[in-house]
Chain A
Amino acid sequence: MRTVIFRSIAPYLTSLMLLFSIFVLLRGHNEPGGGFIGGLIAASALAIYGIACGVAPVRRAIYFHPMGISAFGLLMGTVAGVLSVFAGVPFMTGLWVYPNLFGVEIALSSVLVFDIGVYLVVVGAISSIALALEERDRD
């Protein structure tokens, strides 16, 4: 699998896919996309990088343990739900604010935080499995 061409292209491909996955994640509320699919794209990006260049560079590149990323995502999702308690509404009710940044109205919401949590859980869990499986030669 590790041809020179694949190995040379993989880092660029991976970074493009990661960028795309974030794009997909952020537009998810109004267009096709969202945390789950974004997470899958990011996980496949990491899998490609792993297949091309080996597992160790991937682990170095993502810095945190993938399961830690996953756990943080779950925490984020829970926090996004708990936030509603401060507004006095039931658990998981979406909260929206529209701050004005440089003249552009930006819609921020607890739902977005939740979606990012979903993204991180999916990236973490799937890439954790994929990396562990790829590591077979060196465990």
Chain B
Amino acid sequence: MSADLSLFNREAALLVQQYPELEHVMIKGKIPFVHGQLLLKDEAGDVITEYSIRMEPGPDYPNWFPWVFETGGRIPINIDWHIFENKGNCCIASAPEEALICRKGITLTSFVRFQVIPYFFNQLHRERMGFFLNERSHGNLGHLEFFMEEFETKDLSIVIKLLNEARSRKEPKSNSRCICGSKRKYQKCHRPAVRKIAALTNMELDHYLKIANDFIRDRKVPKEESITNF
């Protein structure tokens, strides 16, 4: 897979119309990018602060998020600040979360509005108050936290049941009891979440099932206090 550069360029042209502080740069023979100031505004439209950013298509846009870099030196290249230390790009979401968002369909404009701006607001929260409002744990635990949030449970065995349910590609009858054991009807309980997660491929679901099973096998079941803010 490789990034769809013509799509990136078309969407970048639309993006800079809505965000005039950003500039779309195309140089023949080079990867296009968008750079400039990202303004964070309050509800009244007043600018609270601005970050210098650069956005590149990355290796597989739009199947994965574009790469976003903070270029003003305001955020350290440090994984604890959710910046990948190898390339210096922002870790905006856990892998399954990113996959599902992209599978649903993104444009650069929706990406900036719903992913990039909240991410930088969270960075501003960290800068002003010393901690992120919400964040995922590093590594595989962060992926599991996403599924636990989606399935509204802290019980990893229920996560595994529901991931297997998504993997089976067969839905129980609507009036059946939910497989989570809640005694609620499936359609009123976990059906929407399982349908959402079922957008992941079998290979992806197998991968996350293995991670979840490994955590249980190694008795690394996430403790309540290690699960952030939900």
Partners in one complex: no
Interface residues of A (CB under 8 A from B): none
